[in-house]
Each structure stands twice: as structure tokens, then as C-alpha cells.
């Protein structure tokens, strides 16, 4: 099957999918923070966020990492959470307010067009967002411009598909059933920066230096494979995008096969889905 990738259509679809999935991503927040907590802490450390830091959060989603950064930055600091989906940003704003954090602001922005003052942030973070940008160089150029000289950027991305069975297995099944070709080099996708050396090359090309990549074991722990499928089915916009061309019955069949295959990760401790994140950090 031959398809032509249209970045504008892709971004429009992505925005719509995250508008639809916003409530579910927020509702699954406790699981997400448990799953991504270690990688998030490593990201904030790598970005050098401390009291008084001014932080830009790109593709902030429902804001779990936004709040963590705001706690570190403290009353003298500030965090600006940006996302292409206003619906999901509303949850980030509400969560900050509920947590009593007055140092958080939200702004609807395309991550490839970061319209913020130049050199105005000490740190830029992005958790599981950069991988889905059609033009990663545009996104990184905007992040670099937003940083003061010597400022740090840090991003959480997936490593290779072979180390992320909880996600790569559903992706493979859906690709086969929907007759979708694998993404070409340079196209967005969950594992677009997971190959050895890929993240370093992309950040270096954007003009960053002192680039480091740290692997963080990040298993997804749930009572059963069926619970993992419910999590992914409700809140993973990328999978919804891939399933869009199938009928409702075909989508149900795909999820049934995914549930059966993910059962291989069930054991005495329940479902433990293999996942490895990379924390990529660099200096302007």
C-alpha cells in the first residue's frame, strides 16, 4: 500500500484525536505518573530545573510533568505549558489550580511554531511529544530559540520498538490489519527517535551540544492485559489515528487480538508491560 504523508492533515488529525482523548488522558493520570515518574524526574534533573527556573513545557498534555516542574521551580519560578489541544491544556490548568500552584500558565501553541520570546527560558521540557512532530527540526529550532544561552532542553521519548512491547505489539497488529506501511525515516511516530544514535543526530543537527541520552526502565503495571488495552484504547491518540480507516467491527477485532497478545505479559504480579524510555538532554 502506498500512501502520501501530509503533515498538515496529520497535525489536524492529531489535534482532533487529543481533543477527544483529553478527558481519558487526564483520568488515567495516576497511572501515567506512576509509569513515567522515573523518566520525568530524570528529565527535570537533566534540564537543571530548580528554584526560580523559567520553564517551557512543549506538548504538555494534561500537565503531569508541568506540575512536577512547577513544584521544583517554586514561587520565584514559572512554567508555561503549551499544547496543540486546548481541551487537554484545560486539564493541565485545572490541575495546577487544584494543586495551589500559581506559577503555571497555559498557552495553545503548535510545537513546531513556538511563538514565545527568544532566550526567555532557562529550561525546555517535552514528555513523549517530540516524537510525534512531523518536523522535529522546526520544533527543536523553536526550543533552542526559546532558551537563554547555556539553557537546557530535555525530552522523554520511547527507545526502540523491541524494548516497548506494551506499545509496539498493538502498533504492529493495527498496521497489519489497517494495511498501513511503516513510517519512513523522518516521519513522526512513537519510535521515531528510538534507534541507536537517532536522538543525538537530531539534536546535534538543531545546533545543541553536550547531548546525553539515558535509558530509563519504565514498565507499565496494571492488574491485567485487558486493563492495559482499556488504557490504550481510551487515551492513546496515535493508535486511534491508525485505526481511523477501519470499521467499528474491524477496530473491535483488532483490540481483541491485541488483548490476547498482550496477555503474554501477565504474571504473578499482574500485567507488566515492557517499556523503556530515553531521556535526551542538551545545552543551547
pLDDT tens digits for range 259-279: 999 999 999 999 999 999 999
**In the sheet where 266-267 sits, what is the strand order?**
220-222, 270-273, 266-267
Run of H or E including 250:
helix 248-262
d(CA 253, CA 257): 6
- The predicted pLDDT at position 2 comes to 45
The pTM of the full predicted model, rounded to 2 decimals, is 0.96
Indicate the SS3 state at residue 108: strand
Q: Which helix (H) or strand (E) holds 217?
A: strand 209-217
Q: Which three cell numbers stand for residue 234?
A: 481510551
Three-class secondary structure of residue 216 per DSSP = strand
Task: State the pLDDT at residue 72.
Answer: 98
Q: How far apart are CA 220 and CA 231, in angstroms?
A: 10
Q: What is the pLDDT along the chain (284 residues), one digit of tens a residue?
A: 446 789 999 999 899 989 999 999 999 999 999 999 999 999 999 999 999 999 999 999 999 999 999 999 999 999 999 999 999 999 999 999 999 999 999 999 999 999 999 999 999 999 999 999 999 999 999 999 999 999 999 999 999 999 999 999 999 999 999 999 888 888 999 999 999 999 999 999 999 999 999 999 999 999 999 999 999 999 998 898 899 899 999 999 999 999 999 999 999 999 999 999 999 999 99
What local confidence, expressed as pLDDT, does residue 240 receive? 85
Q: Cell 502506498 appears where?
A: 2
Amino acid at each position: 500500500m502506498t500512501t502520501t504523508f501530509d503533515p498538515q492533515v496529520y497535525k489536524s488529525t492529531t489535534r482532533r484525536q487529543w481533543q477527544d482523548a483529553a478527558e481519558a488522558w487526564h483520568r488515567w493520570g495516576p497511572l501515567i505518573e506512576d509509569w513515567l515518574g522515573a523518566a520525568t524526574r530524570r528529565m527535570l534533573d537533566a534540564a537543571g530545573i530548580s528554584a526560580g527556573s523559567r520553564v517551557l513545557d512543549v506538548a504538555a498534555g494534561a500537565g503531569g510533568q508541568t506540575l512536577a516542574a512547577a513544584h521544583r521551580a517554586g514561587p520565584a519560578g514559572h512554567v508555561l505549558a503549551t499544547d496543540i489541544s486546548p481541551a487537554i491544556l484545560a486539564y493541565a490548568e485545572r490541575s495546577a489550580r487544584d494543586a495551589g500552584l500559581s506559577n503555571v500558565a497555559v498557552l495553545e501553541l503548535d510545537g513546531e511554531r513556538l511563538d514565545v520570546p527568544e532566550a526567555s527560558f532557562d529550561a525546555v521540557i517535552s514528555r513523549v511529544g517530540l516524537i510525534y512532530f512531523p518536523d522535529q527540526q522546526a520544533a527543536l529550532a523553536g526550543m533552542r530559540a526559546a532558551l537563554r544561552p547555556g539553557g537546557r532542553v530535555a525530552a522523554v521519548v520511547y527507545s526502540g520498538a523491541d524494548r516497548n512491547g506494551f506499545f509496539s505489539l498493538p502498533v504492529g497488529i493495527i498496521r497489519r490489519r489497517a494495511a498501513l506501511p511503516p513510517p519512513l525515516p523522518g516521519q513522526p511516530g512513537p519510535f521515531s527517535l528510538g534507534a541507536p544514535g537517532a536522538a543525538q543526530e537530531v539534536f546535534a543537527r538543531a545546533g545543541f551540544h553536550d547531548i546525553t541520552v539515558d535509558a530509563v526502565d519504565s514498565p507499565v503495571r496494571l492488574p491485567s492485559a485487558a486493563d492495559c488495552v482499556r488504557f490504550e484504547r481510551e487515551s492513546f491518540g496515535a493508535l486511534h489515528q491508525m485505526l481511523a480507516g477501519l470499521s467499528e467491527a474491524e477496530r473491535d477485532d483488532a483490540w481483541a487480538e491485541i488483548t490476547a497478545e498482550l496477555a503474554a505479559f501477565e504474571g504473578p504480579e499482574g500485567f507488566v508491560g515492557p517499556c523503556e524510555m530515553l531521556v535526551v538532554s542538551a545545552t543551547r
